[in-house]
Amino acid sequence: MELVKDYPLSKRFPELPLLSAANTKKHSDLIPFAFGHPAQESFDVPLLSQSAVSALQLDGPRALQYSGGSGPDFVLNWIQQRSKHVSISVETQNILVTAGSMQAIDLATRTLTDPGDHVWVEAPTFFGAIRQFSLAELKISSIPVDHNGLLTDELENKLKEAVKNNVPIPKFIYVMPNYHNPTGVCLSIDRRKKLAELAYEYNFYVLEDDAYVELSFSGKKLPSIYTFGPKRVIYLSTFSKTIAPGIRMGWALADDEQIILRMKMLKSDGSTSVFVQEIISHFLSDVKFDYHMKRINELYCTRKDAMISAVKECFGKEVTYTEPEGGFFLWLSFPEKVNTSEFAGDALARGVSFIESKYFYIDGAETNHIRLSFTFTNEEEIKKGVQRIAESYYRYKKSIEVLNEV
Amino acid sequence: MELVKDYPLSKRFPELPLLSAANTKKHSDLIPFAFGHPAQESFDVPLLSQSAVSALQLDGPRALQYSGGSGPDFVLNWIQQRSKHVSISVETQNILVTAGSMQAIDLATRTLTDPGDHVWVEAPTFFGAIRQFSLAELKISSIPVDHNGLLTDELENKLKEAVKNNVPIPKFIYVMPNYHNPTGVCLSIDRRKKLAELAYEYNFYVLEDDAYVELSFSGKKLPSIYTFGPKRVIYLSTFSKTIAPGIRMGWALADDEQIILRMKMLKSDGSTSVFVQEIISHFLSDVKFDYHMKRINELYCTRKDAMISAVKECFGKEVTYTEPEGGFFLWLSFPEKVNTSEFAGDALARGVSFIESKYFYIDGAETNHIRLSFTFTNEEEIKKGVQRIAESYYRYKKSIEVLNEV
């Protein structure tokens, strides 16, 4: 049979840049600082294995059915209790378990907005979130971040200006308050309060993505933005960094049950794998979670220290950074005229990957930073990887100096 | 803090009817014919348990990481091979593993359409699909089904008329070719061919939802619609009815890789739980799948026979039905003036649930049928459940006869 015409697919797909690190598998001895993978050593494989057997042997038929057994309720209760650590008090019907926190971002976005609506993000911000907002056909603007997180004064000015000029204010602002991706900084208490106040005053939501909250080297936790303005915050978190990403489990919570019900309606994968929830309920019931996190954070802190030592040794005063107190990432800033995309390919060829800053800005505005993940590789690899970056960088620097002399 | 204004949520949410069977948990001795749950006896719990242990012990760290180990590739290859049973030949990059086939419907829908586009469905059709199309803000029309499935002649007339009147033709038509939900009928070979020809001629897609294809009592399988028009068909299926719904795993396949890539882009849950895929890869590698399905189908055929016996005994010539040769459902048709919603509540109070026909029509047009699932309950329960429906029905019938006499 012959096809008569082309078929027009949906107009919703933006032209998205491919991450250069998508090619990372090609080098045989690659040191991957690019992606935010947890350390393999962080997975409690024996306990997960035992949990899987328990879930199936104790209540297999229910665990495998559409709605599951008691596991999903157990998981909800656990999240409810754990949320108290960031001063959140919430009923279980206000919590939705999702297949990872990216799904929570997607569902919250499509619950709050229609195509053409405005949304504001931090600059820099997580590229995965930018992608979701683009797919939702939103207009995206950004507000800068400093070492204390989102600049709420600048936010307030921008809101005032929008109102003055009769320009749409955002339906929501997407913020990562703890160990921000990519910069690693935390939003100060004062700014958390200020942000919640602005949300109430100007009537926008805050999408509070708290994926890294448990990754605190000191064990210290600040109260969430939600605490200060529950009626205009949707709070998200995940088990990806604490138990394992492969289980695909995160959650969203909101004070307004209508939001949770609508997110559930959009959730076309049904209840997030009840089979996995049954397994995770056994895991959570048996693990000593605080001890489990302490072990992981000690490992990550050591790796972070190793990375900072290597950076000092290889780069001296050539770069700047805010030393992270948790999370997964070190954000290295080179002199302003540097374009890190110009040596990312050479670095990859030498066997090290990182993500260039342009991917973290909606307009690719700042090009002189790179994001390095310190969690997945060991101390020896970290040292070697940073050396490889330095080789690439200094070679690039020399080449532009030569160009400038010409 | 005070909230100044109401916050308008997205306009995409339709007013959706709540299924009355959503209340099914309330009766202590309920016989649930309402939902399409597989029999608990169909789950191979010991092998799944063993598969979970193997997946974690042999390759735990990779199974728990974002991208998984060798499991996802194994699953893709298995689907590729199994697709040959319905005459589909496809490369693995043209297959997308999804978290159940409903997610595949959602992703395909948003890949093919924009809000306001038209889509046509069978009448009756699966309410879950109607829900996805409503959430995607599509305009839905329907074409009737008879005992050989979708009326392709009527479809052709409607297409001709649309072209003549310069009315939009559908972006896609959603069809269940095998053991159709809710009627249980199969689309004849001639109509499959005709449908594919029309798709090519009029330039629309067919969303071929083949969730029940493996549930064949005779073991016989017809070639898929995809076979006759791969360039205008997206084919979907699932492990929910064959392995277990709780694992949340299905798939979509398409000849056009651009469609698969875009569906992947919309898939905000990342790779469908790689942890579960690792487990399922071990399961698929060890199970004798044909034997496994034969065992399940024998069980379901016995239950279907029990249901038909009970219907004959309790209803005689009062109802009609097409005896299903597979699948999950018996579709009972009462005399035309009957409104099955008028005795569904009473039936529920007597301890039996079913789904009334209004939920399967976009406009609730036909009210005189009910869908009964014969898979989840045993022969004794089936007999008792059908008796309860009969009690409710005859009580209702008497009451409307009295009304008519008045």
Residues B83 and B210 placed together within one structural domain of the fold: yes
Residues B114 and B252 placed together within one structural domain of the fold: yes
Residue B219 is assigned to a structural domain of this protein: yes
Cβ neighbours of A248 in B, within 8 Å: 269-275
Cβ contacts of residue A280 below 8 Å, gap of 6+?
A51, A71, A75, A239, A243, A247, A249
The yes-or-no verdict on residue B406 having pLDDT over 70 is no
Peptide bond just before B170 cis, omega within 30 deg: no
CATH code, A335? 3.90.1150.10
Residue A133 is assigned to a structural domain of this protein: yes
Q: Name the more confident of B333 and B57.
A: B333
Handedness of CA B371, B377, B382, B386 (dihedral sign): negative
What is the distance between the alpha carbons of residues B169 and B118, in angstroms, rounded to a whole number? 7
Q: Which of A264, A286, A308 is the last residue of a domain?
A: A286
Tokens of B26: 């309330």
pLDDT at residue A233, as a whole number: 98
Shortest Cα–Cα distance, A401 to chain B (Å): 40
Residue B12 is assigned to a structural domain of this protein: no
pLDDT at residue A17, as a whole number: 60
Choose, out of A75, A138, A248, A278, the residue to mutate when testing the contact with B (most B CBs < 10 Å).
A248
Of A371-375, B12-16, B286-290, the range with the lowest mean pLDDT is B12-16
Residue B8 is assigned to a structural domain of this protein: no
pLDDT at residue A131, as a whole number: 94
Q: Name the more confident of B27 and A213.
A: A213
Nearest to A246 among B64, B205, B262 (CB): B64
Which uninterrupted H or E stretch holds A344?
A: helix A341-350
Question: Contacts from B305-309 at CB under 8 Å and sequence distance 24+?
Answer: B306/B374, B306/B379, B306/B382, B306/B383, B307/B372, B307/B374, B307/B382, B307/B386, B309/B383
Choose, out of A275, A282, A376, the residue to mutate when testing the contact with B (most B CBs < 10 Å).
A275
Residues A69 and A202 placed together within one structural domain of the fold: yes
Nearest to B201 among A4, A43, A203 (CB): A4
pLDDT tens figures, A220-255:
999 999 999 999 999 999 999 999 999 999 999 999
pLDDT band at residue B90, thresholds of 50, 70 and 90? very high
Q: For residue B295, with 0-12 CB atoms within 10 Å meaning exposed, 13-18 middle and 19 or more buried, which class applies?
A: middle
Cβ neighbours of A3 in B, within 8 Å: 200, 203, 231-232
Instruction: Decide if B248 and A112 are in contact by the 8 Å CB cutoff.
Output: no
Instruction: Decide if A106 and B268 are in contact by the 8 Å CB cutoff.
Output: yes
What is the distance between the alpha carbons of residues B273 and B99, in angstroms, rounded to a whole number? 8
Tokens of A56: 């199936």
Window A:350-379, CB contacts with B under 8 Å: none
pLDDT at residue B17, as a whole number: 60
What is the distance between the alpha carbons of residues A66 and B47, in angstroms, rounded to a whole number? 19
pLDDT at residue A95, as a whole number: 98
pLDDT tens figures, A110-165:
999 999 999 999 999 999 999 999 999 999 999 999 999 999 999 999 999 999 99
- Residues A285-297, mean pLDDT to the nearest whole number: 97
pLDDT at residue B404, as a whole number: 74
ipTM metric: 0.93
Closest CA to A10 of B133, B255, B111: B111
pLDDT at residue A403, as a whole number: 75
Instruction: Decide if A65 and B248 are in contact by the 8 Å CB cutoff.
Output: no
Residues B227 and B137 placed together within one structural domain of the fold: yes
Nearest to A246 among B63, B196, B232 (CB): B63
Q: What is the DSSP letter of A340?
A: T
Strand partners, A145: A150
Residues B311 and B174 placed together within one structural domain of the fold: no
Shortest Cα–Cα distance, A127 to chain B (Å): 13
Residues B303 and B254 placed together within one structural domain of the fold: no
For chain A, say whether B39 makes contact (Cβ under 8 Å).
no
Instruction: Decide if A114 and B53 are in contact by the 8 Å CB cutoff.
Output: no
**Number of domains into which chain B is organized:** 2
Closest CA to A150 of A127, A108, A183, A128: A183
Q: Are A269 and B102 in contact (CB under 8 A)?
A: yes
With CA atoms as reference, the chain A residue closest to B58 would be A45
Window A:74-103, CB contacts with B under 8 Å: 98-100, 102-103
pLDDT tens figures, B298-318:
999 999 999 999 999 999 999
Residue B9 is assigned to a structural domain of this protein: no
Name the H helices within A256-330.
Answer: 257-266, 274-286, 289-315
pLDDT band at residue A170, thresholds of 50, 70 and 90? very high
pLDDT at residue B69, as a whole number: 85
For chain B, say whether A268 makes contact (Cβ under 8 Å).
yes
Of A334-338, A394-398, B19-23, B133-137, the range with the lowest mean pLDDT is B19-23
Q: Are B315 and B228 in contact (CB under 8 A)?
A: no
Cβ neighbours of B163 in A, within 8 Å: none
pLDDT tens figures, B160-202:
999 999 999 999 999 999 999 999 999 999 999 999 999 999 9
pLDDT at residue A26, as a whole number: 67
Instruction: Decide if B3 and A43 are in contact by the 8 Å CB cutoff.
Output: no
Instruction: Decide if A111 and B1 are in contact by the 8 Å CB cutoff.
Output: no
Residues B256 and B340 placed together within one structural domain of the fold: no
Cβ neighbours of A100 in B, within 8 Å: 268-270
CATH code, B152? 3.40.640.10
pLDDT band at residue A19, thresholds of 50, 70 and 90? low
pLDDT at residue B297, as a whole number: 98
Instruction: Decide if B132 and A40 are in contact by the 8 Å CB cutoff.
Output: no
Cβ neighbours of A265 in B, within 8 Å: 13, 16, 131, 135
Cβ neighbours of A15 in B, within 8 Å: none
Instruction: Decide if A248 and B232 are in contact by the 8 Å CB cutoff.
Output: no
Q: Which of B268, B286, B304 is the last residue of a domain?
A: B286
pLDDT tens figures, B100-116:
999 999 999 999 999 99
Residues B246 and B356 placed together within one structural domain of the fold: no
The yes-or-no verdict on residue A406 having pLDDT over 80 is no
Q: Are B182 and B331 in contact (CB under 8 A)?
A: yes
Structural domain of A24:
20-44+290-405
State percent of chain A over pLDDT 90.
Answer: 85
Window B:105-124, CB contacts with A under 8 Å: 105-107, 110-115
What is the distance between the alpha carbons of residues A51 and A340, in angstroms, rounded to a whole number? 45
Residue A209 is assigned to a structural domain of this protein: yes
Burial B159-179 (b: 16+ CB within 10 A, else e): beebeeeeeebbbbbbbbbbb
Q: Are A74 and A284 in contact (CB under 8 A)?
A: yes
The yes-or-no verdict on residue B22 having pLDDT over 60 is no
What is the distance between the alpha carbons of residues B324 and B332, in angstroms, rounded to a whole number? 11
Residues A256 and A390 placed together within one structural domain of the fold: no
Residues A255 and A274 placed together within one structural domain of the fold: yes
Instruction: Decide if B64 and A244 are in contact by the 8 Å CB cutoff.
Output: yes
pLDDT at residue B122, as a whole number: 98
Q: Which of A252, A286, A320 is the last residue of a domain?
A: A286
pLDDT at residue A22, as a whole number: 52
Shortest Cα–Cα distance, B118 to chain A (Å): 13
Peptide bond just before B115 cis, omega within 30 deg: no
Residues B27 and B52 placed together within one structural domain of the fold: no
Instruction: Decide if B10 and A114 are in contact by the 8 Å CB cutoff.
Output: yes
Instruction: Decide if B200 and A35 are in contact by the 8 Å CB cutoff.
Output: no
Residue A9 is assigned to a structural domain of this protein: no
Instruction: Decide if A56 and B63 are in contact by the 8 Å CB cutoff.
Output: no
pLDDT at residue A25, as a whole number: 55
pLDDT band at residue A61, thresholds of 50, 70 and 90? confident
Instruction: Decide if B229 and A1 are in contact by the 8 Å CB cutoff.
Output: yes
pLDDT band at residue A16, thresholds of 50, 70 and 90? low
Residues A183 and A138 placed together within one structural domain of the fold: yes
**Phi first, then psi: what are they for A97, rounded to 5°?**
-80, 130
Residue B40 is assigned to a structural domain of this protein: yes
Cβ neighbours of B135 in A, within 8 Å: 265-266
State percent of chain B over pLDDT 90.
Answer: 85
pLDDT mean across residues, chain B: 94
pLDDT tens figures, B316-373:
999 999 999 999 999 999 999 999 999 999 999 999 999 999 999 998 889 999 999 9
For chain A, say whether B132 makes contact (Cβ under 8 Å).
yes
The yes-or-no verdict on residue B21 having pLDDT over 70 is no
Amino acid at A135: L
pLDDT tens figures, B214-261:
999 999 999 999 999 999 999 999 999 999 999 999 999 999 999 999
Beta strands in A124-224 (DSSP E): 139-146, 149-150, 172-175, 205-209
pLDDT at residue A363, as a whole number: 86
